[in-house]
Amino acid sequence: MNATSRLSHRVLTVRQLWNQLRLEPTTVEASSVNSSALDLITLSLNHIDQNGYQLRRCLHKLGTGVPFYDVKPPTDIPTRAIEVVHLAMSVSRKRKRKRRKVSIRAADAVQVVSSSAPAGSVNAELDWSDEELLEPEVDEHLMGGAGVLNPDDLDELLLADFEVDQAIFEVGTGTPCGEALNELSFSSPQSARLLKRSSSTTEPNDEDEGIISSNAILQLVGPALRLAISDAPKRLAKGVKPCKSKAFTQLANLAPSLWSPSYLSRVSSRAVFLPTISHALANVAGKATTSASLRSKVAALSPLTTGLNDDHGSVRKKLSIRLWYLLQAGLYDQEAARRLKPICFNVASDGASEDEALDILNASQQSEDLQDLELEDDFEADLDNFDGDKLFENDLFEPLWHVEAEDYASGVAAPSLNALDSALRLEQPPRLLNEPRCGWIALIEPAGLSPAEKFEHDFNYPVRGTDIEDNLLSVCDSVRSPLVTADGDETIDQYVVAEELYAKADGEMRDWPLARQSGRFCDAHGMLAI
């Protein structure tokens, strides 16, 4: 990889992360504190303001011209503005933890084994490598998300042999964050014990005093940043493992509007309808209807609206609040942050990272349009609605979906779709096509029949109009397929899949180059034989 590629790689990988979050750094300041060997980087982050993106995302004219980040919850919803996120990273050599205890255990083992076991087993017991003793214990709670700091958990933190770096918080902004951290972390007797024991158990480092490369540190910084955002990011750097973390709250869990991809835009696109919906529901709940059924349903939505003396405005207000909370909670997707792109700094020596970089370059260098990258994120987010992760796990379709998502984003011609072609040619439906989450449609048309005739013949479905897309739409609706229709090509004279399929996901029509190939009609529930 030459220097230019590395630079592009670096730009793209970081850019992708920020674009996924719809954020852009406006200023970056670097400073260092010589007295404490502390380096600080401060980024001012704004939401990306791109009209084009907003226009495409806008599903209704009510949202036209409104930036996606301009979300105003109902007046009675408490709002907190987050000003600073501090990430303090302390890098040290991995310690030989509990070394003394291990030695004692080993000595005990010698005694026990020497008195009761053959000599050969003594060596087996003693043959514990340092790596085994130091093997990080992957924390189950790390994958579970947020929690509250448990005093018992603090003892686990002793093993880290770190001392809390107050200066990182204090120097960063000149705010009393350090004091707050001090109160939060070390106000309990257990915490005081932690500090004392931590300092007493730190042993002089007897490891090699070799020079550490910058890349070795950056290899940890990137995953640390992603782990600060998401609990289980995908494709964490090779050889990097989280351990000993309890009571850690990820940023995406705390503030999804900032740290969960697509969350804010999805909230924004729906929030514009809240006043209208709450107004309509308030009418239903009020005097506008005598239907007890309707009124009971509205009451079930928000029990607080059943007060007989409530006026229309009061009911509408309560409904707005209720709907907002439903919206806020319902759109949160824990998986979204896990798909944040890895940050690959200038780690050209790492094989895996280089491969990833080349993948990204191949997919992205042909388009510098940031909006395309955003669409990729949206596309992935839409796939989530279809529970597409199951699909990604399948070996057959994994490359297909990824390739198409990237191609769609970059606007380049679709590469070979051998995987799909092979699947379509099979006599028996492949296993994947019977998976209920397979959400795509392919249409074949025989010789001698018009698309409409062929459609009616094959699917025994009445053709109601001349436009075959209308009929496909009906079928898709009936099988709840997320994708919609194929282009009826009158010139097709063989078993040929229409070249262009249109994917309908989340209400948006998108061009989606699929394939020109023989195939079958597939739906969300499997394959419809013809």
Partner 1 sequence: MVPATLDLGRLDLVSTTSGLQLQLESLAQFAPFAEDDDNAERSLTAQLLTADRRDRPWICRASNFRLVLGLRIADDLHVADRDALMNELAISLREANV
Restricted to residues 450-479, the positions that interact with partner 1 (CB under 8 A) are none
The footprint of partner 1 on residues 182-211 (CB under 8 A) is 184-185, 205, 207, 209-211
Is 122 a binding residue for partner 1 by CB under 8 A? The answer is no
Q: How far is Cα of residue 336 from the mean position of the Cα atoms in its chain? A: 2
Q: Shortest distance, CB of residue 365 to partner 1, whole angstroms?
A: 14
Using CB under 8 A as the binding criterion, the count of chain residues that bind partner 1 stands at 119
8 Å CB contact between 257 and 267: yes
Asked whether the CA dihedral 187, 193, 194, 195 is positive or negative, the reply is positive
Q: Shortest distance, CB of residue 225 to partner 1, whole angstroms?
A: 8
Q: From CA 150, how far away is CA 141, in angstroms rounded?
A: 12
Residue that has been written with the tokens 């479905």 in this structure: 461
Binding mask 302-331 for partner 1 (x = CB under 8 A): ----------------------xxx-xx--
Residue 511 in 3-state DSSP? Answer: strand
Q: How far is Cα of residue 45 from the mean position of the Cα atoms in its chain? A: 20
Q: Shortest distance, CB of residue 51 to partner 1, whole angstroms?
A: 18
Is 270 a binding residue for partner 1 by CB under 8 A? The answer is no
Angle at 395 between CA 365 and CA 341, to 5 degrees: 40
Choices 76-84, 99-107, 410-418, 519-527; region in contact with partner 1 by CB under 8 A = 76-84
Choices 68-76, 379-387, 416-424, 478-486; region in contact with partner 1 by CB under 8 A = 68-76
* Residue 213 vs 422, nearer CB to partner 1: 213
The footprint of partner 1 on residues 223-242 (CB under 8 A) is 223-225, 227-228, 238-242
Q: Shortest distance, CB of residue 518 to partner 1, whole angstroms?
A: 45
Q: From CA 329, how far away is CA 160, in angstroms rounded?
A: 35
* Residue 327 vs 501, nearer CB to partner 1: 327
* Residue 151 vs 465, nearer CB to partner 1: 151
Among 5, 173, 306, 450, binds partner 1 (CB under 8 A): 173
* Residue 78 vs 507, nearer CB to partner 1: 78
* Residue 41 vs 288, nearer CB to partner 1: 41
- The DSSP 8-state label assigned to residue 443 in this structure reads -
Is 66 a binding residue for partner 1 by CB under 8 A? The answer is no
Q: Shortest distance, CB of residue 298 to partner 1, whole angstroms?
A: 18
Asked whether the CA dihedral 259, 261, 267, 272 is positive or negative, the reply is positive
The footprint of partner 1 on residues 102-121 (CB under 8 A) is none
Q: Shortest distance, CB of residue 469 to partner 1, whole angstroms?
A: 40
Length of the chain (residues): 530
Q: Shortest distance, CB of residue 105 to partner 1, whole angstroms?
A: 22
- The DSSP 8-state label assigned to residue 305 in this structure reads G
Q: From CA 496, how far away is CA 510, in angstroms rounded?
A: 21
Is 165 a binding residue for partner 1 by CB under 8 A? The answer is yes
Q: Shortest distance, CB of residue 100 to partner 1, whole angstroms?
A: 19
Among 59, 66, 88, 396, binds partner 1 (CB under 8 A): 88
The footprint of partner 1 on residues 476-515 (CB under 8 A) is none
Q: From CA 438, how far away is CA 510, in angstroms rounded?
A: 18
CA-CA-CA-CA torsion for 238, 244, 246, 249, nearest 10 degrees? Answer: -30
Among 36, 188, 291, 478, binds partner 1 (CB under 8 A): 36
Among 1, 47, 429, 435, binds partner 1 (CB under 8 A): 47
The footprint of partner 1 on residues 125-144 (CB under 8 A) is 136, 139, 142
Is 101 a binding residue for partner 1 by CB under 8 A? The answer is no
Is 71 a binding residue for partner 1 by CB under 8 A? The answer is yes
Residue that has been written with the tokens 């007897």 in this structure: 206
* Residue 130 vs 398, nearer CB to partner 1: 130
CA atoms within 13 A on the CB side of 60: 11
Per-residue tokens: 42: 């401060």
Is 53 a binding residue for partner 1 by CB under 8 A? The answer is no
Is 297 a binding residue for partner 1 by CB under 8 A? The answer is no
Q: Treating both helix axes as pointing N-terminal to C-terminal, what angle do 274-285 and 292-301 enclose, rounded to 10 degrees?
A: 130
Choices 83-91, 114-122, 380-388, 510-518; region in contact with partner 1 by CB under 8 A = 83-91
Element (H, E) at 402: helix 398-410
DSSP states along 9-47 = HHHHHHHHHHHHTTEEEEEEEEEEEGGGTEEEEEEEEEE
Q: Treating both helix axes as pointing N-terminal to C-terminal, what angle do 398-410 and 351-364 enclose, rounded to 10 degrees?
A: 50
* Residue 184 vs 358, nearer CB to partner 1: 184
* Residue 194 vs 400, nearer CB to partner 1: 194
Residue that has been written with the tokens 């993948």 in this structure: 359
Among 58, 113, 171, 432, binds partner 1 (CB under 8 A): 171
What is the strand order of the sheet 485-486 is part of? 485-486, 500-505, 508-513
Element (H, E) at 317: helix 312-330
Is 431 a binding residue for partner 1 by CB under 8 A? The answer is no
DSSP states along 249-261 = --HHHH-HHHHST
Q: From CA 457, how far away is CA 463, in angstroms rounded?
A: 10
Among 50, 257, 269, 481, binds partner 1 (CB under 8 A): 257
Is 32 a binding residue for partner 1 by CB under 8 A? The answer is yes
